[in-house]
Structure 1
Amino acid sequence: MTTDGPWLVVGLGNPGAQYASTRHNVGYLTLDVLAARGGATLTSHRSRTHTADVRLGIGPGGVPGPRVILARSDSYMNTSGGPISALASFLKVPSARILVIHDDMDLPAHTLRLKIGGGEGGHNGLKSLSQHLHTRDYARLRIGVGRPPGRMDPADYVLATLPSKERPDWDVTFEQAADVVEDIVTKGFAPTQMILHTGS
């Protein structure tokens, strides 16, 4: 994996107030935490995305950490690949420096996992990204949202607003996810994955 240039950190989600606090938008919500840490606000970009150019983490000697481009698509989840691909081309960021933050029903709620490549698991945002980037070989931070209860439709489940009583726990998860992103850009993907998955 290339170690040059900034990371492009993409939060997946749907635009609009009705989707703002849904399980499907945990990528957006983590991106908000990262933007706040970088002292930045996401602003409109001509690629039909919102972006912020920040420095994350702390470098040697206490200097600001590496440069990171935070981004989210202005289009809906299932067509988000086009704008993100256009942004990556504009910024000349290779797929090996793209990190995508997304919800994952195959993981228990609040579980964080890292992977590179692999299938999309029925996730329309990842399908769109893979299609437009012409590769699956980008890094992913998977945020577990758990399975829908009973016979609830999976689409209804991920598009439901997070219960207010659970929101404090989710806010902790978004902070932890932001910590993982900071570790990736300052320490590298493989060491961060090892620590996250083994707890060592």
Structure 2
Amino acid sequence: MKLIVGLGNPGAKYEDTRHNIGFRVIDELSKTFNIPLKQEKFKGVFGFETINGEKVFLLKPLTYMNLSGESVRPVMDFYKISIDDVVVIYDDLDIPPGKIRLRQKGGHGGHNGIKSLLAHLGTENFKRIRIGVGRPESGVAVANYVLGGFRADERQEVEEAVTQAVKACESWLSQDFLKVMNTFN
């Protein structure tokens, strides 16, 4: 079994914000794999389907970003999904808009959603697809920046990054994550 988690905040207010880029990737994967996100349980919305003989789960935690681990851990426990079979998709301030970076493990880098996952999963050894949102201009608070929308001149690059993240997830279903990293980094 594989679990693909996209981090974000629930509700229309946050829909097109930088912090919700993980949700956007999950929405695209839902269309690509024809996996409806209709089940609400474990403080999240999810769906699953068997792809190439393996069950694939898509999850959007509805706990708000800072409590994401409260949704991911129960899904993993209930379905007995190994940490080796989890990938988390989220926004990253240290990567320029339109770029993605894949990692097999790591710290939180100041990201509160990842802090929550580290606390609830008890390990930093989970796969990540980080999507660049860039840093705010001087004087703009980080919270306001990540909860704001993309500028018009960033939108095409961001859509490309979402497409690349979807392709990376597709590749991971049939290839080792290290090979996927080598392809997409």
TM-score, scaled to structure 2 = 0.94
Aligned length: 185
Where in structure 2 are the equivalents of 1:61-76 lying within 5 Å? 64=52, 66-76=54-64
Q: Give 2:26's match in structure 1, choosing from 28, 31, 38.
A: 31
Q: Give 2:129's match in structure 1, choosing from 141, 144, 148.
A: 141
Deviation at 1:35, TM superposition (A): 0.3
Structure 1: runs of 5+ lacking an equivalent: 1-5, 57-63
CA contact (8 A) 1:35 1:54 kept: no
CA contact (8 A) 2:35 2:47 kept: yes
Q: Give 2:172's match in structure 1, choosing from 157, 167, 184.
A: 184
Q: Give 1:115's match in structure 2, choosing from 95, 103, 109.
A: 103
Deviation at 1:146, TM superposition (A): 0.6
Task: Tell me which stretches of 4 or more aligned residues in structure 1 moved more than 6 Å.
Answer: none
Percent identity, please. Answer: 36
Matches of 2:117 and 2:5, distance apart in 1: 10
The residue type paired with residue 184 of structure 2 is L
Deviation at 1:43, TM superposition (A): 1.6
The residue type paired with residue 41 of structure 2 is R
CA contact (8 A) 1:66 1:186 kept: no
- How far does the alpha carbon of each residue in 1:155-200 deviate from its partner, in whole angstroms, 9 at most, with x for none? 1111002234543432222111100111111112011111222xxx
Deviation at 1:66, TM superposition (A): 4.2
Compare CA radii of gyration and give the structure with the larger one: 1
Show the counterpart of 2:6: 11
Deviation at 1:95, TM superposition (A): 1.1
Show the counterpart of 2:139: 151
Matches of 1:119 and 1:70, distance apart in 2: 23
CA contact (8 A) 1:49 1:87 kept: no
Deviation at 1:39, TM superposition (A): 1.4
Give the CA RMSD over aligned residues: 1.5
Show the counterpart of 2:183: 195
Show the counterpart of 1:160: 148
TM-score, scaled to structure 1 = 0.87
Matches of 2:149 and 2:50, distance apart in 1: 31
CA contact (8 A) 1:65 1:186 kept: no
* 2:71 is aligned with 1:83: yes
Farther-moved stretch of structure 1 (45-54 vs 10-19): 45-54
Show the counterpart of 1:3: none
Matches of 1:54 and 1:172, distance apart in 2: 25
Deviation at 1:45, TM superposition (A): 3.1
Matches of 2:55 and 2:8, distance apart in 1: 23
